[in-house]
Structure 1
Amino acid sequence: MKIFKTTTRKIILIIFVLAFTLNTFVYAGVNPTREELELMIDRVAEKRAIPAILLKAIARVESCYEHYKSDGSPKINGTSIGLMQINNRYGGYDSEKLKYDLEYNIEAGADVLLNKWSMSSYNEVSSVGNMDPNVLENWYFALWAYNGWAQSNNPNVVQSYAKKYTYQQLIYDVIEKEYDGKIHNIDFSYLPATGKPSRSLVVPTPMYTNGGNIAFYEKGDYVRTDGIRTKFHLRDAPAGRYIHDISLNQLGIIVEGPVLQNGYYWYKVYIDDNTEGWIERNFLYRTGDNEYGRYVFEDISFHWARKIIMELYGKNIISEAQYYNPDNYVSKEEFCILLSK
């Protein structure tokens, strides 16, 4: 009987220790520095063809650049999770990954913003100008919708909701005060005095505009489908009808584009003799080009020096590796080695 009690106590103690350890592990989240988070957002924004400054400002407004609380647990407000405060009420994303995978959370934020942009492009909410996504001012209604397509974000009625600013104005203010940028507001006279604007409303792009930093591809570039989604569509024309379904990481070559249509830049991609069509730039990741072939470094796809780097590789001056780190400083030793080759 005494042995049984001792054994039982040991088992209980082990269970308690395991439970405490697992709990500590689950809630051991530490926030990266703001600089590190901004670099992560830059990488996602480059791939998703979204002006990076918009995603950064959203992260600042939504969570103050904090994914985890002081106790290490994920920052959750109601059904909104993490850095980008993704509302997963309807289960469109993996909740556990939203909590513990920062890059996934940022990707989900980019996906939500693209969905709102799509709503604006296809008259599900109001739109601005020709909906060129590389014009920051054109994102006004997509930013509004990110916070919910509600009349409380109508600048003509915002004060009646005990709010000082609309959500989109908060985004604009962060860009101006913390990133030394400027986005010009649309003409509010186009908006109703109460309620939400018509879904079919098209407001002119402001006279003065600011460009984004979307990177464009070239004919002959090697690409693959990329993103948080698992299925993509090829169309018979820019914004045309679906003709092929393709999967994640499908390789192809750009043969035409870009063409701006319905708020997206489209590229015609050749996959094989039976599969070819148009797809949004947002879901294509460049992996090489016609002149230098497949890139041997994962981090040069959007870098201005990518072709020079590949030329050096082709001449055996640099060796293949997973990352090249093109923005790092070159040490004296590395420079001497390069000169010797």
Structure 2
Amino acid sequence: MNFNMKKLVSGIAAVALTATLANPITSKAAGYENPSKYEINKLLTEAAMKYDVPAEVVKALAAEESGWKQFTADGEPNISGDGGIGIMQVTNTAGYDVERLKSDIAFNIEAGIKILNKKWELGEKGLTDWDRSTSIPTIGDNERNIIENWYFAILAYNGQVQSNSPIIMATGERNFGSYQDRVYAELSSGNPGIFPSDAVEIPFAKEDFTYTGDPNFYLLFNKKQYEVDGLSHTTRHAYQPGDLVISAHGSKFREGPSSDTKEVSTKLPAEETEVLEILKGFEYDTSKNPNHFVWYDVEREDNKQEAYVASSELNKIGERLSGIDRIKTAVDISQAGWNQADTVVLAQGYNFPDALTGGPLAYKKDAPLLLTDKAKLTESTKNEIQRLKASKVIILGGEGAVGKGVQDTLTGMGLTVDRIGGIDRYETAQLISEQVAANPDKAIIASGKNFPDALSVAPYASVKGYPILLTAKDSVSEYTTEALNGVDGTIVVGGEGVITNGVMKKVKGEQRVSGIDRYETSLEIARKLPLSNPGENVLVASGKNYPDALSGSVLAAKQQAPLLLSNPEQLPTSVNNFILSERYKEFFLLGGPGAINVEDELGDLYKKLYY
């Protein structure tokens, strides 16, 4: 799942990208001359990212078509025998200025990418209106950032001809000499280590294809959709600061973005991998003979040493969503999930009760849950509200929790402000529940004295549209009792040491979900209260403090992902085993290393699953 909506352009400043495309390199001095490989790498990468195509695919396609050459050694436009022009060997010139295709390398690159995108659309068409003569098959879930998913679009770029069938029609053997497989071989060669083997591992069969001899559609596709054998591979050009990646075995760490620079002193043994954190966007290869990959400045594990690693040797395992404090962490979580939001839910960052049940309301409003100081609106939160272009803020808690000064500042920003606050946490939960669902058939009951259970169950409650109500261990608040009028039954989270059986009966408890501690309870919630449409992600937060899990619970619901609690420095064994059994592919840590520091263990789990 590619939920990271804050990460729209990677490694390249938008200003630089615009400038490059607005002033393309034409190289017209004294005849035509190809730019350096460094410049061509930049041009291909920037154009690919502009059109949301994996840069590895575009660079490999250009390598197969022309060897990255717009011009011949004689300084003439590179024109092939079949009329293909330039670096992308554009043959379908309708609608294009042919002279620019010959002389303007950036224009030629964009033309080729636009044609490739048109071929991609043949697969999108087949998702709703499959026609084997006008559609192409799709791979996996057809996400654009997956390298393998472009297989049939690349085939169509060259032509639906028998020689491009993935299967040799006469023998039934795999056709690694097809155009698209040659492109993937170039991709693997230009990005050493990106695939376990040079070939794309998709299970093709002879009966999947028909060769007709028809001059318009020589090759027909009999199968609509394929899955990749094993783990599919995302573009390595989209990593951002905070991303957690795992290196290849024995990766070489360099002092600069080039294989010509020295290795750092602390080397990685050949049989080992390492979990790294991306520090900034990528840099282009400055080697004398640069390859297709780019370089990332990363932070290593134990010694906190910075180093550069080639992008092809990195595989993303997740992200760390964090700031320098809890309030900025909530902002980072917001930026990970929302490009824009009409409504923002706001709570105090240093006391949990009023915010404890706000997750389902925030999810219903498609609103991030942000935090603030009690007395004044925190500047980072103010900036995030403005980035989101919100028009409304819902404050959780009375003025004793979030002061009038905060509300006045929000009103002064031109925002509509609603406040939901009762005389205590139980009434606040009741009032929030009325906004979540007017007449719910079911509700969640959690302890009002502590935070872990309510936050662990928040993603499930949010997705189901169930309000979360609070209770004491031995008694039920009148506000909770009132909120349960008309409710058929409840799910109680937490053991008898948190909510007694007597209270469970009073709150119409039909089911208790609990473990021996807060970590086991979060695990039991994930097991026994599965989400409607779970993805391949899991969020992990500290069970020792609440703010990161509070904001993260709304993101977890948005992702349809469980929220698991952990010791700050070690995954509980049961959580470790659960992640293995569920085979999660991406992990999101909520909070900085001081709050949750288990990325090395998650890296070990990833290796067991996918390496």
TM-score range for the pair, normalised by the shorter chain length: 0.5 to 0.7
Task: Show the counterpart of 2:144.
Answer: 133
- Residue 122 of structure 1 aligns to a residue whose secondary structure is helix
- Pairing partner for 1:80 from 84, 87, 105: 84
- Per-residue CA deviations over 1:263-294 (Å, capped at 9, x if unaligned) read xxxxxxxxxxxxxxxxxxxxxxxxxx96599x
Matched-pair contact (CA < 8 Å) for 2:122–2:136: yes
2:61 match: secondary structure: helix
> Which of 191, 205, 216 pairs up with 1:179?
191
**Cα contact 1:127–1:203 (8 A) shared by 2:** yes
Report the CA distance between 1:191 and its aligned residue. Answer: 5.2
1:312 equivalent in structure 2: none
1:28 corresponding residue in structure 2: 31
Deviations 1:38-80 (A, max 9, x none): 1111111111111000000011000011110122110112321
| Counterpart residue type for residue 83 of structure 2 | T
Q: Given that residues 78 and 86 in structure 2 are in contact (C-alpha distance below 8 angstroms), is that contact kept between their aligned partners in structure 1?
A: yes
Please list every run of 5 or more consecutive structure 1 residues that lacks an aligned counterpart in the other structure.
1-24, 218-253, 257-288, 294-341
Aligned to 1:202: 225
In the alignment, the residues of structure 2 paired with residue 74 and residue 117 of structure 1 have an alpha-carbon distance, to the nearest angstrom, of: 28
1:66 touches 1:75 (CA, 8 Å); kept in 2? yes
CA distance in 1, matches of 2:36, 2:169: 34
Alignment of 1:88-107 (within 5 A): 88-89=92-93, 91-107=94-110
Find runs of 4+ consecutive structure 1 residues off by over 3 angstroms: 190-194, 213-217, 289-293
1:45 to 36, 42, 48: 48
Q: Which amino acid in 2 is paired with 1:203?
A: Y
Q: Please list the CA deviations of residues 24-49 of structure 1 after superposition, one character each: whole Å capped at 9, or x if unmatched.
A: x7981101122210111111111111
Task: Note closer, same or farther for the CA distance 1:36–1:205 as it changes in structure 2 (3 Å cut).
Answer: same
One-letter identity of the residue aligned with 2:201: N
User: Residues 159 and 64 from structure 1, CA distance in 2 versus in 1: closer, same or farther, beyond 3 angstroms?
Assistant: farther
Q: Summarize the alignment of residues 111-150 of structure 1 with structure 2, pairs less than 5 Å apart.
A: 111-123=114-126, 124-150=135-161
Give the conservation status (yes or no) of the 8 Å contact 1:49–1:214: no
For residues 83-131 of structure 1, give each alpha carbon's deviation from its aligned partner in whole angstroms, at most 9, with x where no partner exists.
0001135x23111111111101111111011111111111222221211
- The residue aligned with 2:205 is 189
Q: Does the residue aligned with 1:59 lie in a helix, a strand or coil?
A: helix
Match of 1:155 in 2: 166
Deviation at 1:159, TM superposition (A): 7.8
Structure with larger RCO (C-alpha < 8 A, sep 6+): 1
Please give the alpha-carbon distance, in whole angstroms, between the structure 2 residues aligned to 1:150 and 1:179.
28
Cα contact 2:340–2:388 (8 A) shared by 1: no
Q: Secondary structure at the match of 2:221?
A: coil
Deviation at 1:206, TM superposition (A): 3.0
Q: RMSD in angstroms over aligned alpha carbons? A: 3.2
| Residues 148 and 232 in structure 2, CA contact (< 8 A), matched pair in contact too | yes
Sort the Cα spacing of 1:191 and 1:56 in 2 relative to 1 into closer, same or farther, 3 A. Answer: farther
Task: Using the TM superposition, give the Cα deviation of residue 213 of structure 1 relative to its aligned residue in structure 2, in angstroms.
Answer: 4.6
CA contact under 8 A between 2:340 and 2:387: conserved in structure 1? Answer: no
Whether the 8 Å contact between 2:181 and 2:200 is mirrored in structure 1 is no
Largest Rg, 1 or 2: 2
1:263 is matched with none
| Aligned mate of 1:166, from 158, 165, 178 | 178
Q: Which amino acid aligns with 2:233?
A: N
Structure 2 runs not aligned, ≥5 long: 1-27, 127-134, 212-218, 241-338, 342-384, 390-611
Structure 2 residue matching 1:188: 3-state secondary structure: coil
Once residues 228 and 386 of structure 2 are traced to their aligned partners in structure 1, the CA distance between those partners, rounded to angstroms, is: 37
Would the alpha carbon gap of residues 193 and 67 (structure 1) be closer, same or farther in structure 2, given more than 3 Å must change? same
Equivalents in 2 of 1:141, 1:193: separation in Å? 12
Deviations 1:111-153 (A, max 9, x none): 0111111111112222212111111111110111111122211
Amino acid at match of 1:85: Q
Q: Percent identity?
A: 30
Q: 1:59 to 1:128 in 2, by over 3 A?
A: same
TM-score, scaled relative to structure 2? 0.30
Distance 1:199 1:29 in 2: 45
